[in-house]
Structure 1
Amino acid sequence: MAPKVLISDSLSEAAVQIFRDRGIEVDFEPTLGKDKEKLAEVIGKYDGLAIRSATKVTEKILENATNLKVIGRAGIGTDNIDKEASSKKGVIVMNTPFGNMITTAEHAIAMMFAVARQIPEASASTHAGKWEKSKFMGVELTGKTLGVIGAGNIGGIVCDRARGLKMKVAAYDPFLSQEKADKMGVEKVELEDLLKRADFITLHVPFTEQTKNILSRENLAKTKKGVRIINCARGGLVDEEALAELLTSGHVAGAAFDVFKEEPAKENPLFNLPNVVCTPHLGAATTEAQENVALQVAEQMANYLLDGAVENALNMPSMTAEEAKVMGPWVALAGHLGTFIGQLTDEPVEAINILYDGVVSEMNMPALNCSVIAGILKKANPDVNLVSAPVVARERGVKISTTNQAKAGTFEGYIKVTIKTPTLERSVAGTVFSDGKPRFIQIKGINIDAEVGEHMLYTTNEDVPGVIGTLGMTLGQNGQNIANFTLGRTSTGAQAIALLYLDEKAKPEAMKALRDTGMFQQIRPLEFTV
């Protein structure tokens, strides 16, 4: 029986035809995605679901998706898909990460021009029959300093375009290496410096716990008087109420926003303020971008449903069906090792070396590499996937190397990941036991034996009496239950580590209580997808 795909958002006819030409039955219902109840009612009939942003793939819908194998998002953002529920259901989530980069970058540049020259207000005034030439005094972009927060794919294009406009470009990105910054022709700066110097600030970062409210009230107050701020990335990166106050006071000369904390944005503190340009999330809204991502998602989904090929998957590595049976646990291990080391690292990663020992050295290493790299990069970019991870790493100037060796220890095989930053080198190793479960076996050269849990806690300390008791007692007093507890040390009285598997996410009050004891050099809550 031919696979069956539902398209519940607006995709081009050319994309629909791709499915049909490949022998896939397709129902094209571009308004169905807005009706959650109806979608939940019919989703069980389909092997694939192709969407844009209007369709919300919730846990409830996935519960009814008894035959669903793949969700394809025409675009990069997947906030409208419950990826955890999809993974548990065994549904692959694909996106099209590179189809709208240029379009979004161009929109940011266009918004910068619009706010610099007050074009929307001047246009409205002229349409109204007024001729207020002296009212709309703008500023030139040439020679001005553009502060770019986030120098990844889209931010990098913005940097390139801004340099072409003869602007001075200063970029803040914790994961941007100096070597990459030099190649881009931009000045690598810290956020504090960018805020003080920039005439224009544009944001190009994903929405994460680290970037949430990155332009907070406090940081906005540090900006240069007369600054203009552009956000075509994600809502929630800027304190909109604080920005509105600074616009009213005149400290901020203008703002251009394509995204908002609450969308659809029917009301917002920025609306109806002078020299504020607002658009309804048009970053990817060009004919070329919409067509590109639609065609790309149709091809990817068809390739998977017919041939088992996995491309641009967010929750599964690219590999053949045959490889997946053998490699699955090792791919999971590789991702856990990357996620572990990524969550511990606050500096830009300059180099990654992945050592494959024994049986794993004969497996599909590109898929394993992608899993490691994606795990490391997810802290900075949650949208990175197993296909785009090497590209993102290369664009950030991260050097990737691998080492293969025959069996060299007590395990049939293991993976060791080592990263290098400007100030340190850090490593972690793991293996897969006969039960198919990944295990951490070494951290910082210290041997351990720890199973991987969804919620974990990593600590380092001097090897002195009382640490174990303090950990258990402090966590217990704060309602935090320990499922598993693993210890390791270099030698008696030297450095020691602990890796705890918790029943629930680490509580802030528990972490504060541990820090207040003064016994620990490092306390890091960790999260894994298991």
Structure 2
Amino acid sequence: MKKFDILITDHIAEEGIEILEKAESVNYEIRAGISNADLKHILGNYDAVITRSGTTVDADLLENTGKLKIIGRAGVGLDNVDIETASKKGLIVMNAPTGNTYAAVELTMGMILAACRKIPAANSSVKAGEWNRKKFMGIQLLDKTLGIVGIGRIGGNVVTRCKAFGMKVLAYDPYVKQSCAENLGVTLCNSLDEVLSQADVITLHTPLTEETKGMIAKPQFDMMKDGAVFVNCARGGLVDEDALYEAVKSGKLFSAATDVFSYEPPKGMKLLELDNIFVTPHIGANTHEGQKGVAVIICEQIVNALEGRSYANAVNIPYMKSLLPEELQRYFELARSMGRLASQFITGRPEEIRFTMVGKRFEEDFGERTFDSPFNYQPFTIAALKGFLEVVLEDSVSFINSPYLAKDRNINIMEAKNDHYDKYNDLLVLTVKTNDGKETTIGGTLFAENIGKILFIDNYTLDLEASGNYIYFRNNDRPGIVGKVATLLGENNINIANFGLARVGSKGSEAISFVLVDDKVSSEVVKKISNLEDIIEAKYIRI
């Protein structure tokens, strides 16, 4: 049996190690605390690497990845992993977002209570022999307004607990549906400013990205209510810590609490000087249950992935095709075929790709949205994008890196969902805009026995199977042209399997044809077709 090699660069719970021990297909090595300089020399010798926050997986480290296939983070935060570089290298990046959810939620609640009631300071005071009750006058949560930024897995659980304290909740999250906010019983605001200006207690639960870095700075603190409480158990880089210091020192804020810092440990940081800023050393995930959870999840998923089984939590793969219902897997393949067809059909350089899903079967979201990520798309869009790019880029494009490759080529990707499209109720529509100002629109759906078919290209109505070898030609609609093409193919020993023809308007207008043939067609034959009278253009297209 082939053995996969796994390197562990940070300490993880023993329960995770036990999973690797039991897996007959893997060997593992623990090098906790290894420096990036040393790690860079050996990283390519392993099929997978398991890290926590102690290892920075940056572009330099990933320069020579060798046989590396997977980067696994035993935890939820991935700001120490260069996901874009990893994706361009074709590496799967996965985390364990659910393993320490409740640990992070409960710490947040503890920090909110600590900041509102000054519990840590009161504890220290009593232990120092003091008894100054007036010094620790606090704020109760009942009937106060919570302002929460980000209502994903952790934020949503914080909302539930704060509502149990009798709080009203305002939320800002541009990546969540209104229905999600309604289910949580919160008011979803249109802007961050709206939340910050009305909340009595503010808590952050967003990832750290280029978009969110420094999102809370002096202007944001200035717009907060006088006497507000500010809590950050998400990521340190979200907050300008000098501005936080000034907001608390000036009395603008009643107090603040933070578990995270822009650099850790935060030696010499000014905010550590203030008695009403309460801090902890990045312990959001530090419960026995939380550490066990993330270790078990990441080790199980890495073993599954290496052994070719279904796995979850790949942050740079927004879906697992195998987890889609069978019918939607067929739509996934249809989307890829439509992408291939579009790439070979268009002229000019692509500037914009729009993918529209029509009908109720596409109402569900099949991937979690993240800030500032090319993976803000559904699997069908990704499939179409890969199909479009692989015609030219071949093996260098994958489902992982296709959004990044499109981004590198300045192709704008758009996605939409509609209830209906013209006369169709269940449909995939791909539109490609090129630098010559032209737009090409292709529509497809599934027919009986889940056969994918192309229904139209622009204004031409068709009935094409979305696979196979095709000769496409556009011609002036005059008698005899189809016969000439068929004769030429016969003379070159090319068998015709099917023939699709469409025109817009009356006799004499332009027509297009797709001839399904059994084998690949040489460029010489295509050129002969192009040279026939009244043929405007001809191409060989493999879908």
Identify whether the pair has TM-score above 0.5, normalized to the shorter chain. Answer: yes
Correspondence for 1:73: 73
Structure 1 residue runs of 5 or longer lacking an equivalent are: 335-342, 346-351, 391-414, 418-428, 439-450, 460-483, 491-530
SS of 2:270's partner is coil
The residue that corresponds to 1:107 in the other structure is 107
Measured in 2, the distance between the counterparts of 1:157 and 1:270 equals 28
Shift of 1:171: 1.4
1-structure distance, mates of 2:339, 2:142: 50
C-alpha contact (below 8 Å) 1:246/1:252 kept by paired residues: yes
Flag the 1:457–1:152 CA change in 2: closer, same or farther, 3 A. Answer: same
Deviation of residue 94 (structure 1)?
1.3
The structure with more radius of gyration? 2
Write the letter of the residue equivalent to 1:301: I
In 1, Cα distance between equivalents of 2:334 and 2:407: 17
Structure-1 residue corresponding to 2:435 = 485
Q: Distance in 2 between matches of 1:82 and 1:331?
A: 31
Distance 2:374 2:236 in 1: 15
Q: TM-score w.r.t. structure 2 length?
A: 0.63
What is the identity, as a one-letter code, of the residue corresponding to 1:71?
A: I
Aligned residue for 2:391?
A: 436
- Residue 18 of structure 1: how far off its partner (Å): 0.8
Q: Structure 1 86/246 Cα, relative in aligned 2: closer, same or farther at 3 Å?
A: closer
Paired position in structure 1 for 2:246:
245
1:73 deviates by 1.0
2:123 corresponding residue in structure 1: 123
Matched with 1:90 is: 90
Compute the displacement of 1:453 (Å).
4.9
Tell me the SS of whatever aligns to 2:49: strand
Structure 2 unaligned segments of length 5 or more: list them: 323-328, 341-351, 394-404, 414-433, 441-543
Larger mean Cα displacement after TM superposition, 145-154 or 190-199: 190-199
In structure 2, the partner of 1:475 is: none
Residues 32 and 219 of structure 1, relative CA distance in 2, 3 Å threshold? closer
Distance 1:383 1:457 in 2: 12
Which residue in 2 is equivalent to 1:20?
Answer: 21
Once the two structures are superposed, the pairs formed by residues 302-381 of structure 1 within 5 Å of their partners are: 302-316=303-317, 317-319=319-321, 330=336, 354-355=357-358, 370=366, 373=367, 377-378=369-370, 380=371
- Return closer, same or farther for 1:332/1:291 CA change in 2, 3 Å cut-off: farther
The one-letter code matched in structure 1 to 2:281 is P
For 1:150, the equivalent position in structure 2 comes to 150
Distance 1:149 1:71 in 2: 28
Kindly indicate whether the alpha-carbon contact (under 8 Å) linking 1:206 and 1:381 is maintained by their aligned counterparts in 2. no
**1:165 Cα deviation from its structure 2 partner:** 0.7
Judge conservation of contact 1:235–1:260 (CA < 8 Å) in 2: yes
Could you tell me how far apart the structure 2 residues matched to 1:6 and 1:110 are?
35
Find out whether 1:287 has 2:288 as its counterpart. Answer: yes
Letter in 1 for 2:54: A
Q: Deviations over 1:80-112 (max 9, x none)?
A: 222233223332211112222222121111100
Q: Is the 8 A contact 1:312 1:385 kept in 2?
A: no
Label 1:431 to 1:178 Cα distance change in 2 as closer, same or farther (>3 A). Answer: closer
TM (norm. structure 1) is 0.64
The alignment of Structure 1 onto Structure 2 pairs a total of residues equal to 387
Overall identity of the aligned pairs, in %:
36
Deviation, structure 1 residue 32: 3.7
Instruction: Give the letter for the 2:88 counterpart.
Output: K
Q: 1:329 to 1:16 in 2, by over 3 A?
A: farther
- In structure 2, the partner of 1:230 is 231
Distance in 1 between residues matched to 2:46 and 2:334, nearest whole Å? 25
> 1:454 and 2:404 equivalent?
no
Q: CA deviation at 1:212?
A: 2.8
Shift of 1:158: 0.8
State whether residues 33 and 54 of structure 2, in contact with CA within 8 Å, keep that contact through their aligned partners in structure 1: no
Tell me, yes or no, if the aligned pair for 1:149 and 1:172 is still in contact at 8 Å. Answer: yes
Shift of 1:30: 4.8
